[in-house]
Chain A
């Protein structure tokens, strides 16, 4: 890649819709992250009432009252960020406060918090409040033109890089560790959890399998390869949907089996950034008078947060149709499955149906993907 092409990639104007939508769950995740700090502060305890280590002697330690105030300001800013009120300022304050709190002591450092800081940094530098926000609603009500929802793509590309690194670094570190790749770590962790497993609703044979050394030798390799697969497959449009689907399963499994603070919620939410950064470039042609069409239309209006579809009316009695951005057309039930596979809340359930959907190629590309 030449320097010119690199600069063009960084400066290419793309839709910030995915970051605008991501802002909402990340705001909630930030509130969840701050909750234990605020609860302890309410009880009169902060980090320096017990063992802590500043990262650097020059790092400013705030007076107690100011530190607690900062935590509350962070929570208010995270709430404002969630609803998109004074979004840029709120996002910058949230990022600054959460970052300050992370580095105030080595005892605050966790992988999920580091990842949260990275995601907040991306949101702070990207114009993620121009849509899907109270700010946009206020502008609209005042009759002022909406701000351009497109912006240079570099914050999005950087966040994709970081998201990929999270999976890749984790997978490669396990691959290089003979104890991990050989299954010893997974086996020891299972043995450590044996009492919990035996007290769970799992049948005896399942507990026996889960604590079997040979089983863990295989499952460890599966975990390692899954992480590396997700890290790589997210980059290709051909494998991205599979990677997202696998990543959701992966995170749900982690959430059910381990205590990882806000990591699962954050990581699943951040999968939104892998949506192609263009909007309304698929056409949903639907007869609003038909019951099925009406239901799908209602679903799309409520759940198409990433603005994937442009809706056009079909003549009465015409079948439901969807034209993908490359001109591929789906009809009837196949169209419904395709639409649901592109909505964030239903995608995981509908994606497995799409490979089996019948499709036809239209003569010309109705819409060109950016």
Chain B
């Protein structure tokens, strides 16, 4: 029984690890894929709060006692208006930014005017020509 258990554990670990290495070629966060220093990509984003009145207010201006950096200042997301190196690759960075928009939208209950957040992201994959992508947060229930 012990011999079979050992065999199963070893084969399972090897298979899972190989699968994770393969998965890393398409996964944003590349968990256990060990792709070190994979890119030299850079990015910047213009992030705005779009109010229920249609105003577009940059998140560089604090609102309702909140600030972008205090809410999302992790994994290279601080000061998004400044051009940054994407530490773990551009796909990883964009995935974090997209989900951070939702996080900020959900975790700002004192804000009654923002309908959603929007990020216009420009990125340079390994120094190639810039590309642009637009992310929007989920609509906010608190917006009146």
Contacts and interface: CB of A to CB of B under 8 A. Distances in A.
A binds B: yes
A205 interface: no
B32 A51 contact: no
Interface residues of B, number: 40
A107 B75 CA distance: 7
B10 to A, nearest CB: 6
Interface string A211-233: 00000000000000000000000
B133 interface: no
Nearest to B39: A185
B31 interface: yes
B17 A165 contact: yes
Nearest to B42: A192
Interface string B119-137: 0000001110000000000
A247 B125 CA distance: 29
Contacts of B139: none
Among B32, B33, B42: residue with most chain A CB under 10 A: B32
Interface stretch (A132-140, A169-177, A315-323, A344-352): A169-177
B6 A170 contact: no
Contacts of A10: 3, 6-7, 10
B100 interface: yes
Given A51-B104, A158-B10, A184-B127, A169 B33 contact: yes
Contacts of A366: none
Judged by DSSP, the binding face of A is helix
B13 A158 contact: yes
A50 B21 contact: no
B74 A107 contact: yes
B38 A162 contact: no
A258 B71 contact: no
Given A7-B3, A185-B40, A188-B126, A173 B35 contact: yes
A179 B33 CA distance: 19
Interface string B1-36: 001001101100110010001001100010111111
B3 A185 contact: no
A52 to B, nearest CB: 8
Contacts of B32: 114, 118
Contact of A51 (B6, B40, B74): B74
A6 interface: yes
Interface in B31-51: 31-40, 42
Contacts of A162: 13, 17
Contacts of B77: 51
Interface in B102-144: 103-104, 125-127
A215 to B, nearest CB: 15
Contacts of B103: 51-53
A170 B42 CA distance: 21
A51 B71 contact: yes
Which one of B32, B37, B42 has the highest number of Cβ atoms from chain A below 10 Å of its Cβ? B37
Nearest to A223: B37
13 contacts: A7-B3, A11-B6, A106-B99, A154-B6, A154-B10, A158-B13, A162-B13, A169-B21, A170-B34, A170-B35, A173-B35, A184-B126, A186-B40
Given A51-B99, A173-B35, A179-B126, 18 more contacts: A51-B77, A51-B100, A51-B103, A106-B99, A107-B96, A115-B34, A161-B17, A166-B34, A169-B21, A169-B34, A173-B25, A173-B33, A173-B34, A179-B40, A184-B126, A185-B40, A189-B40, A191-B127
The 5 residue pairs across chains A and B that have the minimum distance between CB atoms:
A188-B40, A169-B34, A51-B72, A173-B35, A188-B127
